[in-house]
Amino acid sequence: MIERSEQERIRRDALEAIRQLGVDPFPSINLPISHTVANILSTYQDAEAETWKEVVLGGRMMSRRIMGKASFAELQDGTGRIQLYLNRDELDTDAASFTYAELFKKHCDIGDIIGVKGYVFRTQVGEISLRVQQFSLLSKSLRPLPIVKRDEQGQEFDGFHDPEQRHRMRYVDLVVNPEVREVFRKRARLIQLMRDFFNERGFLEVETPILQPIYGGAAARPFTTHHNTLDMKLYLRIANELYLKRLIVGGFDGVYEFARDFRNEGMSRYHNPEFTQVELYAAYRDYRWMMDMTEELIEYVAMGLHGTTEVVVGDQKINFARPWARYTWHGAIEAFAGLDLRSLSDQALLAEARTLGVDVPESATRPALLDEIFGHCVEPHLIQPTFITDYPVEMSPLAKRHADNPELTERFELICNRKELANAFSELNDPDDQRARFEAQIELGKRGDAEAMMPDEDFLRALEYGMPPTAGIGIGIDRLSMIMTNQNSIQEVLLFPHMRPEHGRTESVDGR
């Protein structure tokens, strides 16, 4: 049996009373909304203007005060809040207003979704309000909202601010914390700005498979599933890189995809098991060109979102104006840690990592050791956008060898606010070299590297048909959104982040 709180029981009693009045608490209706709250508040000038004679709004009731035959309420739509003034004697005598006194005063609650029609006016204290002539209940709220209250200084208290509750019940978070909606509006705007930037430069937006017979394009653990009809194991993609490069082989000169990717790895304020990235590939280009384009792209996004290249993130001010700082990988290690790792054996590298206080297992592979040392010694110093270039070849199984040093690759990562935002290469297009890199990954897997790549024979076959020189990049949309909206956790820029099951609740796959 479902246990309900006292408030929920009161609301269900009100639901039954509403039905007894002959009013449908969940009517099917086509409400001819004429304005938004933001539109009214920004453009209203004259209470007598004809254009304001019939205003129709729909939204959620966020407060109400009963004062005899007059009542005040606050309506919130997707753009803001406005005060409503309701006078029993002024309402039309339609079906809803016929039962106004009993319906609104006795049975309506904060959180109910309502429709109102009336005209705009200013109260004696100058507040823009709506004088309601028609009122209708559109959806009865059966649970009380955790209303945010503010003290005399405007500080919030007794609100809905616990992160776990907010992330688990995002629908409530969006209602009572309207500023959260602005984060996701900015995120959507960010993606649209990037899409416009790519389209204006002739890149084609495409879609590639999410379910893949062989996962590839990154070093990560996959999620697995099974296709019943084909009787085969499939993987949720960890990246879309290898499919996009197949399209370059096929003759497209520039493609991109905003992709939902999945990696079966740890969770933190910078990691979620499913995430969004955009990958873009440009034929006849190299990683140097891609660095220049990346600077231009993100500067363009910052200007489009904020009107300036300077973005406040926590207590830092990050400036995306070009040009950005650039270090080689080994140069960054030397500059920030005073180390030269070029000649160290695997055992010496492991000993160096432990001397630095990096927690790595005895079985850690050389690529993993290099990555952990870099993350420990360099990333904490990189607040402003910085390119790290020319990675060791063992760390970059899909990147072309550097023209001046075959022990390095033509690769860069963009680091900003201490975390990687983008990863890019001059793409490896020598099929024999690519096969050798895949075979090296197999050996790493045998040594216990759970994130080693699998060889993809079809991708190797595609390369054997010939892929032009190509530059490619992957940009993390979630982390970029964190910076552009000043959020300190990836969960704040994901509408529905993954979470552990609620305590005491276990559900089967079908929800029973």
pLDDT bin (cut points 50, 70, 90) of residue 105 is: confident
Q: Please name which of 459, 47, 44, 449 lies closest in space to residue 240, comparing C-alpha atoms.
A: 459
Helix (H) or strand (E) holding 404: none
15-26: average pLDDT: 92
Q: Which CATH architecture has domain 6-145?
A: Beta Barrel (2.40)
Does the pLDDT value for residue 337 go beyond 50? Answer: yes
401-406: average pLDDT: 95
pLDDT bin (cut points 50, 70, 90) of residue 13 is: very high
* Percent of the chain whose predicted confidence (pLDDT) is above 90: 70
Supply the mean pLDDT for the chain. 90
481 vs 191: CA distance, rounded Å = 9
pLDDT digits (tens, 9 = 90+) for 221-266: 999 999 999 999 999 999 999 999 999 999 999 999 999 999 998 8
With b for 16 or more beta-carbon neighbours within 10 A and e for fewer, the 453-484 pattern comes to beebeebeebbeeebeebbbbbbbbbbbbbbb
Q: What is the pLDDT of residue 365?
A: 87
Question: CA separation (Å) from 409 to 166, 378, 405?
Answer: 43, 19, 8
pLDDT digits (tens, 9 = 90+) for 444-503: 888 777 778 888 999 999 999 999 999 999 999 999 999 999 999 999 999 999 998 887
φ and ψ at 45, to 5 degrees? Answer: -125, -50
pLDDT digits (tens, 9 = 90+) for 58-88: 999 999 998 888 889 999 999 999 999 998 8
Domain regions of the chain by residue span: 6-145, 180-249+276-324+384-493
175-179: average pLDDT: 92
More confident residue, 155 or 166: 166
Cβ neighbours for 34, distance < 8 A, ≥ 6 positions apart: 54, 55, 56, 57
CATH code of the region 180-249+276-324+384-493 = 3.30.930.10
285 vs 280: CA distance, rounded Å = 12
β-bridge pairing 325-328 and 386-389 = parallel
Q: What is the pLDDT of residue 507?
A: 40
